[in-house]
Structure formats: C-alpha cells, structure tokens
Structure 1
Amino acid sequence: MSQGEKFTKTKKIIIVLMDVFLYHLSILLSFYVRYKSDIPMYNYNAYENSIFYILTLFVLLNLLFGVYVFYNKSIADFLYFTIIIQLIMTISIMALTFFGRWFTFPRSVLLISLIFSTIILFLWRVIVYKFYERFSGSKQVMVVGTEKDIKNAIFNIGNAKSKRHIVKYAVVSNYYTNVKKYLDEVDIVYLASGLSEKEKENIYNLLVREKKKLFLTTSFDNLLLVNPNIMNIEDESIIEISNFEISSEDDLIKRLMDILFSIVLIMVTSPFMLITSLLVKLTSEGPVLYKQVRITKDGKEFNVLKFRSMSATAEKDSGPVLASSNDARVTTVGKHIRSLRIDELPQLFNVLKGDMSVVGPRPERPFFVDQFQKENPHYYLRHNVRAGITGYAQVYGKYASDFNSKLNFDLLYIKKYSLLLDVKIMLQTIKILFDKVSSKGLDEEEQEKSKEIPNNIKYLV
C-alpha cells in the first residue's frame, strides 16, 4: 500500500470521527436548548446509556449511503443524504430507546437535534467537499478506443456530477504509440474499447512501469474477472472465475429478507397506496392497477403490478414503446406518482408472491427482451436472479441509460452480491426519489447530440 493510500484512509477516518463528534455535539446542544443549564440527569442518562448504539448506527448509515466517497458527489447529494440519514436516525433512536427501555430520552430533544444535526453536518460536509475539490485536484484522463466507444466515455465523464476527471486526449488509432508519447501529460488511461491482446499487454506493461492508473470498461470480458477465487494447486496459483449467479444459501436468505421487507413496507405504505388508488380512479378512466407481462428469474413470465400512470389505451395503436421524457401518454396524476416511484408500490405484492425481489434487475417485457437478446448475447444472464423493484442500475446509473449500460450494472450486481449490498441499494433508493435526473425517461436523440467530442480534447490518430 502506498503512502498516498494510507493518507487517504487516515483522512477519511478523521472525517468520520469529526462527523461523530459533531453529531454528538448537536444532541448536547439540543439538550441545552430544551433545558438550558438545568438538564435533568435522568433524561441525560438515557442518552448516555444508548450513546454507543446511536453513534454506531450513525456511522453505519453514513457508510451505507456512501457519504465518505466524494468523487461522484455534488453538494446537493450531501444535502439529500444528510436530511435522509438524520430522519432515519431520529426514527431509529425512538425505536431504540423504546426497545432498550430508555424511556426518559426526551422526544423534544430528538426533534431539536434533527434540525441542529442536519444543519451542522451539512455545513461540515460542504467544507470537507470544498477542501477535497481544491486539494485533491482534477485527474487528467486519456481515453483510448474506437470513435464510438470514446464518445460514450467522454460523454459520461463530462456529465459526471463531480469534475474530478477531465479528458485531455482521445486516442482512436495507433493506440500504444500515442499512449506512450503523451503518457507523461495524464494521470489515468481509460481503455474504452476491446483492443488486441498484444496491444493491451503492451499498454498494461507501460502503465505498470510508469505507475499510471488504468480504467477499464465493464465489458463482458472484464466483468468475468470480478470476484475471482484464488486457488493453489501444487506450485501454481490459479484464478477461478465466479459465475453470474447467487449461491443457493444467499438466495434463500435473500428470499426470507424479501418476505420480511415486503410485509413491513406494505404496512408502512398502505396509506399512500390507498390515496393513490383514489386519485388514479377519480382522474382518468380505466383500472387502478395496471398488469403487464414481464420476465423474471430463469426467463419466467409474470404479471407485474403497477398503479396505472398512462391512459388505458396508451399502446393501442403504437404497440410496445419504451417510456421517454415528457411522454404524452402519461396522465397528470401519473406524472407525479412516477416521479416519486409511487406507481411501483404494488410490486411489493409481486415480491411477497415470489415473482420479484426488493433488489434486482428491473424486469423487462418479452418484446424488448427478445430485441435486447438479439443485440447482446449475454443479456440472458440478468435472468439468473429475480427481477427487482429497485436495483444497482437504478441507484448507480441513470434511468436514461441504454440497455447495454443497464445490463453491465445488473451483471456487476450479480457478481458483487451480498446482503449488505442489498441493504445499501435499498437505502440509496430513498435518495433517488428526489433526484429528477434518475426519474427521466429515454432521450436518445438528445444524448447523441451531446456526444460530440469537445474542442478542448486533443484527438490522436
């Protein structure tokens, strides 16, 4: 491990400790505001007795939400995360003090601390983020590959929330020669296309020797190498490639968690589902629930349930069509319930039945599955797990991504699967409910126009 990596981890530990201190301080300030200098000890003792559990949960939630990862964040993200985490903390402390029988923890202090902690932590995180932007600096990137592939890479880097990475060179031919010639001027080389084995090996050797970072795409070949098992047979070490599947033990635990979460979420969201049912029924003709055939695990068909957000005859003349931004088929109520993802809530019953999981690849219609399968022979691999209400692609990608990008996210999810990853995705799904970019439909023409290589990037052939 390099000194730079150690220092980065040290800085993050300091930031976490400062977070804990500020959260603790906000609760102390709340006690003072509520009671002034005459704080009843039996009230404060309830906090003292539960402080270890409270602060542990606080750190865990921040880690799961990715608060301490800065390269892909904006200030708005920190605002969303801080508000959401502090709301969850407030509710969790109420439950914790009830089950721990620390009944004297004042609810008024909790409500005051919700305000104080949100403001104090957000301001602190803005300061940290500004220091990160200023002192970590930007990284110069050289994108290498075919013209089509480098356009996608440049578009994604250029439209990232953080400007941590800046593309300086675009190499479309004579790959090794151009990489070697301009390597001193960049920090990272991003191989956006599959090059010949010989050329890749030459570039790899060059980057290792010069201690430069390498970025690779999530192509099928690269995804195969995720989460390998290292075996030793006699005097040889062997890399065993893991399959795109979840073990039977993990699948059983995932199913049990799905049943538990779906029951709890149905109970919690039932008032919202009742109100939505009334609004849909009163504002447009047709059924409240919309059934549509989708594909789930092992390629099985099932009827997905959704609150109807379009007119009942939306696809009468057009046939199956992917949703897009400002879709004229969407009703007034439908527009709002889709932006908040309320239309997806009836799928909790699909989860309870076993057709779906809370987390997994989003289910597609047979018509589109057949199309995608023809274009990408690896598309079937996403059906090795149950379809999900939310997923890796929904949290870490964008709703406007094309099917190949979504497939890469789905395959990465299957490769990296763990129960903790499911919990992390479920928590981060809360944030994207307020992120309008994630709720947008497909605007392929608009994206293609934006993928022209900017003039400030040097084009190397």
Structure 2
Amino acid sequence: MKKHSDWNNILRISTTIMGALLFLLGIYISFYFKFFGQVPGRNLWAFEASYPWIIIGYIIINILFGTYIFYNKNLLDLAYYTILSQLAMTVYLMALTYAGSWLSFPRSVVLINFLVGSVLMFAFNSLAYILYQRIRGQKRVMVVGQEDRALEAVKNFSLMKNSRHKVTHVVLSNYYYNVRQLADEVDIVYLTGRIEESERLEIYKFLMDHNQKLFISTNFENLMMVNPNIMNFQDESIIEVSSFGIASEEAMVKRFLDIVAAFCLLVITLPITLITALAIRIDSPGPIFYKQERITMDHRPFNILKFRSMSQSAEAQSGPVLASSNDSRVTRVGKFIRATRIDELPQLINVLKGDMSLVGPRPERPFFVNQFVELNPYYSLRHHVRAGITGYAQVYGKYATDFNSKLNFDLLYIKNYSLAFDFKLLFQTIKILFDKVSSRGVEDKVESQVTWDKFKNDIDIIK
C-alpha cells in the first residue's frame, strides 16, 4: 500500500510562519503603494519595530481561525478564512500602532494592506492548499459496521466539501475477516456502529500491527475515553476516565471572561440593537423581544431572550415545533435578523445573568429535551455546563443535523474543554455568520431516503 507523508503540526506551523513573513511583505508593498515608492525612513522604522508583534498576531489569529487546517475545506472556504483573518489582522494592526505608540505607521497603509494582503495571502494559502492535496493525496476509506450506520457514514463522506476522503469499500458482515482481506486496498478503516467487542479488538490488533490508520465513531463508549488521566500506583498503571464537566477553576475563569465580553459586546452593539428594535416595531405587531423557556446547566429552566423574528401567534395553533427552511411564520425583518444572527444579540443579557455562556451547547426547550432524553439517556450530560450562544455543533455541524450528532459535538466540547478551544470556536463562529445554510431551520423532509443504490456503482459493498 502506498504511503503518503503526513501533514502534521510541524508542517502546519511552518506554513503559518511562512504566511506571517509573506504578510510582512504585503505591508511593504502597501507602503510603496502609499508613498509611490519613496517611503520615509521614520515610517519604515515604525513598521520594522512592530515585526515581532505582527508575526505573533498573525500566527495566533490564523491558528484560532483554523486557516491552515485543510482536511475539510475547498477554495471558497479558504477565501472566507483568508478575508476574515485579514480583517482581524487589520483591527489588530490598528490597535497595535496605538498601543506601541508607532503613530508614524500610517493607518492608510493598514487599510491598503487589507486589499493587498487579501490577494497575496489568498494566493499563498491556495498554493499551500494545493500542495497539501498533492502531498497527502486522496485517502481510500473502508467503512465497517451495521448497515444503517454505514450508509449514514457513506452519505456524510460523499457530502464533504472536497474529495480528500473517498469511500471505496463498505463491509456489512464478517467484519474481521473482510478487514483482513481488504486492508491493503484502502488507506483508512472506519469502524461505525456496534461491533462485538471480541471482534472489534481483533480488528484493532490487526490494524495496529500493520500500522493502518483507524477511524472510530463517536459513540458513548468511545467518547468516555477522550481526554483520560493516566496514573501509576506502584507497578499498576491506571486510566482514569474524565467526567463530562468543566473543572471548577476553569469554570470560574470562563464565567469571568463571559461577563466581561458580554458587557463589552452589549455596549458595542447598542446602535444595532436600537435600529433592530425600531424595525421590528414598524414591521409587525407584537413585542420586540421574544422569551422562550430553555434548559441550561443542572437542568435549570430559564427564559432565553431573542429579537422576535416570527409573527406574534407563531405557535398558537401548532404548539412547539422546530423552525424549518422557508418558514412562513418568519416576518420580513425576521428573515434578515435570523440570516445575520442579529436575533441572538439579546442573549448577551442571558450571559450576564448567568443563564448562558458565550460558548457551550445550544439550549433546547423542555418539550424537546424530554423527547431527546427518552431517545438517548446520555443527552442529559450536555447539561453539566452552561448553555451557549455558539458552540462546537454550530461551528462544525450543520443546522439540520439530528440531535444525536449534535450531542456528540457537545460531549466532545465538554471533554476537550479549554479556554483556547473557546477562543477558537468564537473566532470560527464569525465564518458561519456568512453561511446561509447554517442560518436555516430544520430542512423539510421531502427528499426520499438515501439508499445503497446511490453509491453502488462507486463502492465495493460486502454484505
């Protein structure tokens, strides 16, 4: 089996540093545009004095945005991330010139660099992306597991934004035997659904012995083993399974930052809040704000605040229902504020009150929580932390993703919690503000159910 070089963290960091150096070149070019080639020495000195801070800022911002994580991006995504990171760098440079008293570093150069840098960095990022695709190549995937879970996995791989992973084989029975027979024909084996433990362990051992890459699904048993604590008692080595919760000291820091950030954002967005309130009042009768009972940490109910985007009597006849695409109940102003997420701004008040956090699992209504807990008893684990305005599922999942898939995202977030992870999700939330798909309601189920017929010509299916 042909082996490709891994795109590891060292290569990613090296690419980010090269991008930072190229970003400096973009500023030089912007200086020459500003001064028509005759750049005064004092202006260049101010720029050169800020070299280290610019490089550090570039690296941090692009790591938080995930610009150089290429595995599930296409060139359009790359353009989004490049422009957003350039915008963040423009704001950062403006603040940096004031903080460093480098006032001879002209603001006009910073603005020119937004255009020059966007073009230059997109060209570089695209080249890095193409090289990544060439170095890594397309990965052939074998999906192994129960038929319903395997079909769902195949569908999800087919919907990926690029052709980085291609399912070539599906094994639906005699798992261990077929994995041994077909392992040399693929690069990755993905185990999904329930497989008997003895057979699963045999597959693990075989793949490890042959240095084969293994993917496993995020069922609860696998989620439990994420982020373990390793301990030693004399000659006994023990794995302590971490709980689904945030350590008290981390929770205190998270709460403090929530309060500071929510207060600042409320002040900054006050003009938007006033204009939105006026538009809602003019557009349709009813209150400006919409209150709805949701569930947060420790299963505590609270009233979530939103700008009203639907007619006042939206659920008078139907009762609680999830919003759908092209929902007729949404008002004219409501369509705009939902698409731009402005309707979520009042939730900053919920953050100040302690009902919510900036980042966490999205809160659901008691009506749906009760349904979901009956269908999946692990659903209640997401209530070990405060509900959030944005979260892992909102950034990486689709709006219409079923509740079990969203739950896996939420439990992974809790297991992997860190302050840096929160910052990363906040930065990447900016990108989904421009994503129309993520602002839709649940899709109407008008499509026929996906069957194997759709994939049988491209995949070797072993039943």
Scaled to the shorter chain, the TM-score interval is over 0.9
Deviation at 1:261, TM superposition (A): 0.6
**Secondary structure of the structure 2 residue equivalent to 1:168:** strand
> How many residues are aligned here?
459
Number of the residue aligned with 2:256: 256
Q: Where does the alignment leave 5 or more consecutive residues of structure 1 unmatched? A: none
Please give the alpha-carbon distance, in whole angstroms, between the structure 2 residues aligned to 1:324 and 1:411.
25
CA contact (8 A) 1:285 1:312 kept: yes
Deviation at 1:74, TM superposition (A): 1.2
The reply on whether 1:285 has 2:277 as its aligned counterpart is no
The reply on whether 1:417 has 2:411 as its aligned counterpart is no
- Give the stretch that moved more between structures: 440-449 or 415-424: 440-449
| 1:122-271 correspondence to structure 2 within 5 Å | 122-271=122-271
| 1:99-114 correspondence to structure 2 within 5 Å | 99-114=99-114
- Give the stretch that moved more between structures: 312-321 or 35-44: 35-44
Please give the alpha-carbon distance, in whole angstroms, between the structure 1 residues aligned to 2:85 and 2:166.
31
Deviation at 1:215, TM superposition (A): 0.5
Q: Where does the alignment leave 5 or more consecutive residues of structure 2 unmatched? A: none
**Secondary structure of the structure 2 residue equivalent to 1:214:** strand
CA contact (8 A) 1:155 1:451 kept: no
| Two-structure CA RMSD over aligned residues (Å) | 1.5
| 1:8-157 correspondence to structure 2 within 5 Å | 8-157=8-157
Please give the alpha-carbon distance, in whole angstroms, between the structure 2 residues aligned to 1:249 and 1:145.
41
Please give the alpha-carbon distance, in whole angstroms, between the structure 2 residues aligned to 1:151 and 1:348.
40
Number of the residue aligned with 1:454: 455
Deviation at 1:444, TM superposition (A): 6.1
Which residue type is aligned with residue 33 of structure 2?
V
- Give the stretch that moved more between structures: 253-262 or 323-332: 323-332
CA contact (8 A) 2:6 2:136 kept: no
What per-residue deviation string (whole Å, max 9, x for no partner) do you get for residues 410-449 of structure 1?
A: 0000000000100000000000001122222222635663
Please give the alpha-carbon distance, in whole angstroms, between the structure 1 residues aligned to 2:375 and 2:150.
20
Which residue type is aligned with residue 458 of structure 1?
D
Which residue type is aligned with residue 454 of structure 1?
F
What per-residue deviation string (whole Å, max 9, x for no partner) do you get for residues 353-409 of structure 1?
A: 111000000000000000000000011110000000000100011111100000000
Please give the alpha-carbon distance, in whole angstroms, between the structure 2 residues aligned to 1:290 and 1:43.
52
CA contact (8 A) 1:78 1:125 kept: yes
| 1:335-414 correspondence to structure 2 within 5 Å | 335-414=335-414
CA contact (8 A) 1:176 1:199 kept: yes
Deviation at 1:267, TM superposition (A): 1.3
What TM-score, normalized by structure 1, do the two folds share?
0.97
Please give the alpha-carbon distance, in whole angstroms, between the structure 1 residues aligned to 2:8 and 2:54.
26
CA contact (8 A) 1:152 1:451 kept: no
CA contact (8 A) 2:4 2:135 kept: no
CA contact (8 A) 2:26 2:113 kept: yes
Deviation at 1:285, TM superposition (A): 1.3
Please give the alpha-carbon distance, in whole angstroms, between the structure 2 residues aligned to 1:386 and 1:7.
35
Which residue type is aligned with residue 75 of structure 1?
L
- Give the stretch that moved more between structures: 286-295 or 101-110: 101-110
Deviation at 1:67, TM superposition (A): 1.2
Cα distance change, pair 451–81 in 1 and its aligned pair in 2 (3 A): farther
Number of the residue aligned with 1:322: 322
Please give the alpha-carbon distance, in whole angstroms, between the structure 2 residues aligned to 1:8 and 1:381.
33
Please give the alpha-carbon distance, in whole angstroms, between the structure 1 residues aligned to 2:234 and 2:448.
53
Deviation at 1:5, TM superposition (A): 6.3
Please give the alpha-carbon distance, in whole angstroms, between the structure 2 residues aligned to 1:169 and 1:460.
8
Please give the alpha-carbon distance, in whole angstroms, between the structure 2 residues aligned to 1:152 and 1:264.
43
What per-residue deviation string (whole Å, max 9, x for no partner) do you get for residues 31-72 of structure 1?
A: 111112321222222212222111101111111111111111
**Secondary structure of the structure 2 residue equivalent to 1:117:** helix
